[in-house]
Amino acid sequence: QKEVEQNSGPLSVPEGAIASLNCTYSDRGSQSFFWYRQYSGKSPELIMSIYSNGDKEDGRFTAQLNKASQYVSLLIRDSQPSDSATYLCAVIRTGTASKLTFGTGTRLQVTL
Amino acid sequence: DGGITQSPKYLFRKEGQNVTLSCEQNLNHDAMYWYRQDPGQGLRLIYYSQIVNDFQKGDIAEGYSVSREKKESFPLTVTSAQKNPTAFYLCASTRGSNYGYTFGSGTRLTVV
């Protein structure tokens, strides 16, 4: 079992729709969770972080964390073509200080 | 503006040659990291350093070496022992486990 799992996609959504990206993790003691956006050929950029169960909203983005189910998700409302990118889920596992473990990413395509 | 600078952006290595990738940050972060990304893959940790003059191996350290003589600098050497070095190399830093990483723009290394 991979430490952080994501569906590779592509996930295709029409412009204006809600995109839902999902991530599961294996270490039940994981503490901090992050979503990064990576455009093709570019480096990842941090878009959301979440540390406690529930929802966290920032503009069009909402991160959701369910530690009991070991599940973290990212919702993108009113999806735009500029949201087309690969979204990486990253987790700080127990006892690893600030080391991030990344999933392989989900490619999102927002269609006109 | 504060940030992380990686150079060069593109690097070509001949067989049997050592090459060094530069990473400099002016964010005053203690912790720095090197990741490798292969096409369609997630990020894999090569080396990390949480303080000057100290560093630890990550998951795929074989064939690589690092130094951390200054807080601002964390260069990565890809040695001839690394048999498949063609990849996108990313340097990152953080001020702590609740802040996520800031990434440099990356170096794309190709073996010729």
Residue corresponding to tokens 């999102």: A108
How far is residue A11's CA from residue A15's CA, in Å, rounded to a whole number?
13
Helices and strands (H, E) in chain A, number of each type: 0, 11
The rounded percent of chain B whose pLDDT value lies above 70 is 99
Tens of pLDDT, residue by residue over A51-66, are: 999 999 999 999 999 9
The CA–CA distances, whole Å, from B67 to A100, B26, B45, B73, B106 equal 20, 17, 16, 8, 18
Tens of pLDDT, residue by residue over A8-43, are: 889 999 999 999 999 999 999 888 999 999 999 999
pLDDT at B2: 73
Confidence of residue A111 (pLDDT cuts 50, 70, 90): very high
Establish if B97 touches chain A: CB-CB under 8 angstroms.
yes
Q: Which residues of A touch B35 (CB under 8 A)?
A: 102
Which range (A89-98, B6-15, B33-42, B63-72) has the least confidence?
Answer: A89-98
Q: Which residues of A touch B96 (CB under 8 A)?
A: 98
Reduce the DSSP state of residue A81 to 3 states and report it: helix
User: What's the mean pLDDT in B38-46?
Assistant: 88
What count of other Cβ atoms lies within 10 Å of the Cβ of residue A110? 20
Report the mean per-residue pLDDT for chain B: 93
Does residue B40 surpass a pLDDT of 80?
no
Q: Which residues of B touch A104 (CB under 8 A)?
A: 40-42
In angstroms, how far is the first alpha carbon of chain A from the final one? 36
Does residue B100 surpass a pLDDT of 90?
no
DSSP state of B83: S
The residue of B32, B93, B101, B108 whose CB has the most chain A CBs within 10 angstroms, and thus the best one to mutate to test that interface, is B101
- CB–CB contact B103 A99 (8 Å): no
Confidence of residue B42 (pLDDT cuts 50, 70, 90): confident
Establish if A7 touches chain B: CB-CB under 8 angstroms.
no
The rounded percent of chain A whose pLDDT value lies above 90 is 83
- CB–CB contact A98 B94 (8 Å): yes
Q: Which residues of A touch B31 (CB under 8 A)?
A: 97-98
Instruction: Chain A: give the shortest CA distance to residue B48, in Å.
Output: 8
How far is residue A48's CA from residue A37's CA, in Å, rounded to a whole number?
9
List, in order, residues 6 or more apart from B64 with CB less than 8 Å away: B34, B46, B47, B76, B77, B78, B79, B82
Establish if B47 touches chain A: CB-CB under 8 angstroms.
no
DSSP state of A82: G
What count of other Cβ atoms lies within 10 Å of the Cβ of residue A5? 16
C-alpha closest to that of A100 among A60, A58, A59, A44: A44
- CB–CB contact B100 A103 (8 Å): no
Does residue B95 surpass a pLDDT of 80?
yes
pLDDT at B1: 64
Instruction: Chain B: give the shortest CA distance to residue A16, in Å.
Output: 27
Does residue B97 surpass a pLDDT of 80?
no
Nearest CA in chain B to A97: B97
HSE at residue A29, side-chain half, CA atoms within 13 A, is 5
CB-count exposure of residue A3 (10 Å: 0-12, 13-18, 19+)? middle
Report the mean per-residue pLDDT for chain A: 94
The H-or-E segment that residue B110 falls in is strand B107-111
Q: What are the residue ranges of helices labelled H in chain A? A: none
